[in-house]
Amino acid sequence: MAWLKSGDEKSTRWVKEQIEILNRKGWYHSIQLPDGRVIEGVQSIDHLKQRLARFPVPEDLRGKRVLDVGAWDGWFSFEMERRGAEVVAVDCIDVEKFRIAHELLGSKVDYRILDVDELCPATVGRFDIVLFFGVLYHLRHPLLALERICQLTREMALVESFVIDDGLEPGPYMMEFYETDELGGQTDNWYGPTTACLLALCRSAGFARVELGEVVKQRAHVTCYRHWEPPPANPSCPPPVLNAAANNRDWSNRFPKNKDLYVCCFFNTKEQVTKESLRIELDGYGVPALTATSLGGDGWQANFWLPSGLDPGRHEVRVRTVNSHFSNPVEIEVIPAVNSPLPF
């Protein structure tokens, strides 16, 4: 049962109470100092640990690069650093509490002030793990934001977001839009997706696998993977034969950068396939199939959305099924955009 609702006086009062608590404490995240003392925030250390425990984050992150988007006071950034990761933390404003904690902890986290729409591989690089906690519903363009997060992710992105349901039952793919202060009296809340819609947004952003963890008090915890599960050790079917990967507009293998384009894969397999049983890769990263259509005999066509942010040059497409190894590779070419103001 949803308890935080748009246009609801009780919800608005609750949000105001939380803001009053924050103003009184001064910190949102609690921070434990090296000598054991704790700066008490709205969220306790135990609560913060519980939030993180809902995701499959290894205890040992040595050799990993982690991005914390919307770092706020920085507990998650500093925890990733404690586990051995090289960490970049970003927020849209310079949060003084982050800098205080950074100094008190002797942290080496790289702190940058950037909006989500400024994030791209050219500005911050790529990361094994991206944390995207409590940010999505504050953004005017949530799908574009998730596309950017996907561009930055090498292994997995962890998305925690407000949802308008409890996630217990399959729900509609829909979002509420808040024009002004309809949700909690705050003007920085723009969208409230259903849990099903949030999962669909993550898939549509380009992630290969999207897995829902718990939904706790209308906070959904979603792990988004860039790679498919490993191919079967003993496949029951031979790999497909990939004949072509073509631009849906002109049937060439060339794709202008920053265009909203689809890749049409033409392949042969004796299996009966569905979009759910296909495993398409682009440059080694999984991409979800949008369609899988029989062309008669053993001929098939599958379409996928060309991920944003690909560099100009040649890129490799492969296809397999859940029962096979990968097909032969086929190349496509991304060509520079003409007169495009977009850097990504």
User: How far is the C-alpha of 187 from the C-alpha of 19, rounded, in Å?
Assistant: 14
**For 128-147, what is the mean pLDDT?**
97
**For 306-312, what is the mean pLDDT?**
90
Record the pTM: 0.92
Phi and psi (nearest 5°) for 105? Answer: -85, -10
One domain for residues 93 and 217: yes
| CATH classification of the domain holding 258 | 2.60.40.10
List the one residue out of 184, 126, 118 whose CA is nearest residue 150: 126
In a domain, 3, yes or no: no
Range of the domain at 311: 241-335
One domain for residues 79 and 213: yes
User: How far is the C-alpha of 72 from the C-alpha of 78, rounded, in Å?
Assistant: 11
One domain for residues 57 and 141: yes
The mean pLDDT value of the chain amounts to 93
What does each C-alpha distance from 102 to 40, 94, 99, 127, 195 come to in angstroms?
A: 16, 13, 5, 21, 34
Task: Domain count for the chain, please give it.
Answer: 2
Q: Per-residue pLDDT tens for 236-289? A: 999 999 999 999 999 999 999 888 999 999 999 999 999 999 999 999 999 999
**For 123-128, what is the mean pLDDT?**
96
pLDDT of 11 > 70? The answer is no
List the one residue out of 314, 298, 288, 296 whose CA is nearest residue 239: 298
Q: Tokens representing 32?
A: 């434990």
The region of weakest confidence among 165-179, 218-232, 297-311, 322-336 is 165-179
Q: What does DSSP assign to residue 29?
A: B
In a domain, 2, yes or no: no
Last-in-domain residue among 192, 225, 258? 225
Confidence at 168, pLDDT banded by 50, 70, 90: confident
Last-in-domain residue among 174, 193, 225? 225
One domain for residues 299 and 219: no
Whether the CB-CB separation of 242 and 282 falls below 8 Å is answered with: no
Q: Tokens representing 235?
A: 């496949």
Task: Please give the share of the chain, as a percent, with pLDDT higher than 70.
Answer: 95
One domain for residues 124 and 26: yes
